[in-house]
Chains A and B, each alone.
Chain A
Amino acid sequence: MRLSEFLSQSPLYDDLSGSDIDTLEQIMMVRDYHDGHQFFGERSRAESVYLLMSGEVSVTARGRGSRGAAEIKRMKPGELFGLVALIGHERRSASCRAVGPVTAASLPRSAFDLLFESNSPLPQHFRLVVARQLARDTRSLLDELRREIFSQAQSA
């Protein structure tokens, strides 16, 4: 599937106009990845952000509470991954690996920075997309913590 077709059909991107989508198609690179492909590892430099178009990506990190290294999130099609370190200009705090065959579009740091900081129409929509993804990431972690807090409280 072409990126433009994917973005047009995904409700997560309904703020993007036709010309926004055309521009993203020109600057993002779509690739197929095999099962087990590591997009990035913990402590690596953040060079790109990825948009998952099909398949699943497992996000794992060391030291999640009492459980040691563990999967912290399973990304689904339409989600962006790799945002936190890219925007924070820090090294990756988690690893991302393909679970089964995956198709994803990547956006290099230079293009991302340009989109994120400028005030023209595409960036204004793109920033909303980025903010929503971070809100979903935050909620996912909050949901996990909520389960942990109440299960601890009930067993105490």
Chain B
Amino acid sequence: MAISADEIRRKFPEIAGRFHGQTLDVLARAFSLHEVPEGQALIRDGTAADTVYLVWEGRLVAFLEGPGMSVELGHVGPGQWVGEVSMLDAGPAVATVQAETDAKLLGIGRREFKELNRDHPEVAGVILRLLVHLMIERLRRADELMLGAAADTGRSTAADEPADHWGVKVYRRLMGLSERAT
């Protein structure tokens, strides 16, 4: 099953508006639809990952997996992107992302994206600019958070916030996650 250009237009007009003419049809064909039942992981922290996803519907939660523990980072919902870092740099997943409700996502893998960039650079270019500006915005806001944390009355900001460590806030920001499920 695939998603049509019209469906993308209706659901995410802001994203669709970046594509001109038939290019949204090309994008719709390049995406594959992934359905993830509630409770199932889409991506596992530290494992191989090569796909960037746009959440179509449903809600997912992200965790950091460590030695004998996991740390909840935040939530992601319709219109938000996940997986862009691994799709681009070919490194392992930076978090576990698990469906909190039945979820549908549109995904494009590294190889398919490379082909899209070769065959339809005008389409891949829009996605790349979008992801670049997303990463730039997240890096800038993460910097502000880190500066703000350090400037906070001059105290050691890492010491006394176990419930929501400043690092978790920055990590959440860098992944574009929301603090609360919406």
Number of A interface residues at 8 Å Cβ cutoff, please give it. Answer: 43
Judging by beta carbons under 8 Å apart, are A124 and B89 in contact? no
Residues of B within 8 A of A131 (CB): 88, 128, 131-132, 135
Judging by beta carbons under 8 Å apart, are A88 and B167 in contact? no
CB distance from A144 to the nearest CB of B (A): 9
Judging by beta carbons under 8 Å apart, are A138 and B150 in contact? no
Residues of A within 8 A of B66 (CB): 146, 149-150, 153
Residues of B within 8 A of A128 (CB): 117, 128
A83 to B140, CA, bound (A): 11
Question: Which of A30-38, A61-69, A106-114 participates in binding chain B?
Answer: A61-69
Q: Which of A63, A116, A137, A152 contacts B139 (CB 8 A)?
A: A137
CB distance from B86 to the nearest CB of A (A): 8
CB distance from B151 to the nearest CB of A (A): 6
- For window 26-47 of B, CB contacts with A under 8 Å fall at none
CB distance from A69 to the nearest CB of B (A): 9
Q: Which of B122, B132, B146, B151 contacts A134 (CB 8 A)?
A: B132
Residues of A within 8 A of B168 (CB): 149
Chain A proximity mask over B72-114: 1 for CB below 8 Å, otherwise 0: 0000000000001111110100100000000000000000001
Chain B residues proximal to chain A, CB less than 8 Å? 64, 66-67, 69, 71, 84-89, 91, 94, 114, 117, 121-122, 124-125, 128-129, 131-133, 135-140, 142-143, 146-147, 149-151, 156-159, 162, 165-168, 170-171, 174-175
